[in-house]
Structure 1
Amino acid sequence: MRTQNPALPRKIRIFDTTLRDGEQAPGNAMDPEQKLDMALAIEAVGVDVVEAGFPSSSASEQRAVRLVSAALTSAYVSTLNRPIHADIQLAVDLAGTERHHLQIMATGSDIHLEHKRGVSREQAQDECVEAIGFARSLGARHVTLAIEDASRGPDDLLRPLITESIAAGADALTIADTTGCMLPSQYGGLIARIRSWIPDDIVISTHCHEDMGLSLANALAGLEAGADEVQATVAGIGERAGNTPLEELVTVLTYRGDELGCTTTAKTDGLYGAYELLSRTIGLATPRNKAIFGANAFATQAGIHQAGILRAPFTYEFVEPYRYGRERSIVIGRHSGRAVIRHILLELDADPGDGVVDRIYAEHIAGRPGAECMSLPELRRAIVDSGVLG
């Protein structure tokens, strides 16, 4: 088991899989040029690895891998491949061997071995060991054993698969909670056991899905248990309910990295731009209530909240909008109170007496239909135009 100086934060690698796992979900398809644009926006955030795609799946994927691998300058490129020579050779031909994290898929559960693949544990292990050796023979510098459905795999399947693959030349492991079925304590326990089986210099990467809404919690549990890398996607897009959201992960490491003993080179300030590009590219609608990117993430209508924010934003803003290039929004609706009216009157150098405040409140807030809202500038104009100030 590795030891860590608690005074020194661990540098966590961030592996972005927006262009592979994110893109393969229904409605998220991108052409190679769009993938290139997204890859550069994601790289600009400061992630360590950008997964360009699954090259053997189509000619379009092959072009995307070639374009992305040639364009990246700070991040490494990654590809996902089956444990067969043709896939591996193609990936090396497209992305080279130096700055390429070549992932080889492994089967991590008896469920998948029996019901999907129809092969034995021994056959599945042997094909991975042989494929890793072949990748190394081609000069691949970084070879990852990517274990699908590892969260439902027993230790007596996973341990020999992992140890034999490392002996063959794998320098990283992806531990996938493919169905999003684990609790954080369970996933953390799995990562801790795997960490105890392997040398300290082998990287463990989390790949968590959102089926029960636990992808970020599981990824963080993995980090606390000894994982070195998190696989994530912009806005959490991906198969079914999606993956660990990149923006939420970076936010946690930015605001709570000290408590986790972790740090990252990824920055918050490019995240919203990457999200806006993704939204335009795949027609992704913005929800109201999503962390960081939601339409209401930095907006408030409730009078009690507005009273606090108008005096000191940190009363209700732990996560700060300016870090993402976003703006605070005070929305006026039927749940707003008198504090926002007094704020506007003071800005206008008008008398914020209770009589004036009550008249404005009755006309513009109390009588407002439930679904109708206005912005702070709109309310200011309405107050001026109403003539209530004399």
Structure 2
Amino acid sequence: MNLQIQEALRVLGKTAIVAGLGVWGAAMAQIRPETISSGLENPWGVAFLPGGRFVVTERPGRLRLIGADGKVGAPVAGLPAIAAGGQGGLLDVLADSGFEKNRTLYFCFSEPEAGGSGNSTALASTQLSADGARLENLRIIFSQQPKVASRNHFGCRIVESRDGTLFLTLGDRFSRKEDAQKLDNHLGKVVRIAKDGSAPKDNPFVGRAGALPEIWSYGHRNGQGATLAPDGRFWMTEHGPQGGDEINIAQAGRNYGWPVITYGENYGGGKIGDGLTAKDGMEQPLHYWVPSIAPSGMAFLASDRYGAAWKGNLFVGSLKFGYLDRIELKDGKVVAEHKLLADGRARIRDVKQGPDGLLYVLTDESDGKLLRLRPN
């Protein structure tokens, strides 16, 4: 690439894919994907452990430790029964902020109904044994109600807030979308709970008749990406129907509109409900995509490892088109998007910033990979 082209790209700040060479960049901050591990079966969530290790979930129902050298360990023993199938299985995982002292992990999964055909998203708390071979003291601290006979829309991203409470995204289960507008169930909601599973007293619907106290926000469809912003607010992505994928800042007590308002349409065409995109009392998305990109994991970049132009950017994985979306924000609005890893060959399921300030990505494939994105 000659110097004139390099300078033009620097000034424009645009993502570039040059002559099929796989060069991505803005302000000359280019990335080079490095495979840490492969052979993972549909990995869904990754968390960082001390010593450069990782813990990764595989959707069919396996939890694995990965060493700093990239070696993938045997499945960790001690998982509960999991309703793996369709979009369900073992999904997100989170290491507690005090992991070095308490060895606590949280994971969410599709929990089968005892004696029935239904299932729902559940959140478990457990300790990883000292040798990393098994889970100990496992407790289910939250179980979505009601159970539904469905293989779709589990949501299931976990985020620890600055005050130590846990946010969990919950899907509408596809067949029960109208319940996303009702407060007597957990379908199509974000819930906020303490680490023992109790509902914090300052949750917005505590004490309200007919409302479940765990609910933080409602009117969601299927949130599969979530993170804390630099200011501590809870951000999420959610899948729309055909079109209308969204980025939302989920705030206490707010109604995000599904299925009353949406920028999408029914699969195969046709409006949903009255075909509204706005209504009083319902929040507008911060950003939406038409057509859908099928957004999954998301993370803010707090480091300057890739140059100043990338610091503070939001990164969102696309399952449908197989790229990592670098999103520039200004005054709380999306002002530019740049497609990274844009060869479309791998579904991007999760993205996280590691303790080293670099970005890490999971690809959702039968031969899934854990990638480290190095500055080039």
TM-score, normalisation: structure 2: 0.30
Greater helix share, 1 or 2? Answer: 1
Greater strand share, 1 or 2? Answer: 2
TM-score, normalisation: structure 1: 0.29
